[in-house]
Amino acid sequence: MKKIRLVILGLVIVVLAACSTPSGNGISGTGAAAPSGPGYYTVQKGDTLYSIGRKFKQSHRSIAAWNKLQDINGIEVGQVLRVAPPTSAPGDVDGAKSVERVDKAEVAPSSIGAESRIDWMWPTDGAKTSSFSLSKKGIEIAGKSGQPILAAASGKVLFAGGGIRGYGNLVIVKHAGSLLSVYAHNKVILAKEGQMVSKGQQIAEMGDSDSSTVKLYFEIRRDGKPIDPSGVLPGR
């Protein structure tokens, strides 16, 4: 059983780290000659696509589209990125605007997909104190120590425990298809791995494990990639 749990823990770490891994055709040290000069930039330590966009006065989503980056969170030090619009093709009224149109089409609203067919609920009461962004893959909800944490939708508990840095006592619930919901920083975990849980069933108590404040950090992931929970949770 211990060996099986270690395998599960390894898979969970891979899933939660998925968005930190570069994807797409951004150029890194692969041995091929990387382009350089005006219009290109080599990623430095601490850079994000958002900060690079501000530096070059471009939309971070445009830069992602120009470099065919499927994950806007995934860039690595040494990677060479195009930071200026490609030359307009004949008949293209405006190359930059064309890229923006493609970019907006590729970044679909969170409500589109399998997650829109699931009956979601807020996993706990409290004010949302941080929003989904390039650097934060979920939302934070403030509350009191011991406050009930509820399953946001019906599913099967994939992981319940600690050992993943930055998440503290963690519960992950698998839903239909490739959807996961993630509940971090719990004080006490009540759910068990392999257990089927219903929407609204208590799975943990709010806490501050691996956190400086009492809160719930909540993610929804599709195919291992985070989507904005606020786009699928009901209004309140």
Higher pLDDT, 76 or 33: 76
The answer to whether residues 163 and 225 belong to one domain is: yes
Mean pLDDT of 14-34: 45
Do 101 and 121 reside in the same domain of the chain? no
CA distance 143 to 147: 7
Q: Are residues 124 and 227 in the same domain?
A: yes
Do residue 88 and residue 189 come from a single domain? Answer: no
pLDDT at 174: 93
What integer pLDDT is reported at residue 235 of this predicted model?
Answer: 82
Domain shared by 72 and 142, yes or no: no
Percent residues over pLDDT 70 in the chain: 69
Give the CATH number of the domain where residue 147 resides.
2.70.70.10
Q: How many angstroms separate the CA atoms of 47 and 84, rounded?
A: 17
- Does 203 lie in the same domain as 130? yes
- In this prediction, residue 72 carries a pLDDT of 66
Q: Same domain for 97 and 118? A: no
Rounded distance between C-alpha atoms, residue 90 and residue 12, angstroms = 48
* Pair 125, 84 in one domain: no
My answer on whether 73 and 140 are in the same domain is no
Number of domains observed in the structure of the chain: 2
Do 74 and 160 fall into the same domain?
Answer: no
Query: pLDDT class for 150, splitting at 50, 70, 90?
Result: very high
pLDDT at 5: 56
Asked if residue 222 and residue 140 are part of one domain, the reply reads yes
pLDDT single digits (tens) 76-104: 888 888 888 876 433 333 333 433 333 33
- Look at residue 69 and tell me whether its pLDDT is greater than 90: no
- Give the residue carrying structure tokens 């501000």: 54
What value does the mean pLDDT of the chain take?
Answer: 76
Residue 228 CB partners (closer than 8 Å, separation 6+): 110, 131, 132, 139, 220
Inside any domain, residue 21: no
Q: Is residue 69 in a domain?
A: yes
Q: Does residue 16 surpass a pLDDT of 50? A: yes
Tokens of 66: 């120009």
pLDDT score recorded for residue 11: 54
> 24: closest CA among 60, 93, 70?
70
Amino acid 79: pLDDT: 86
- Condensed to tens digits (0 to 9), the pLDDT of residues 106-134 reads 333 343 466 667 889 999 999 999 888 87
CATH label of the domain that carries residue 101: 3.10.350.10
Identify the domain containing residue 74 by its residue range.
38-106
Q: What is the pTM of this model?
A: 0.58
Are 158 and 8 contacting, i.e. CB atoms less than 8 angstroms apart? yes
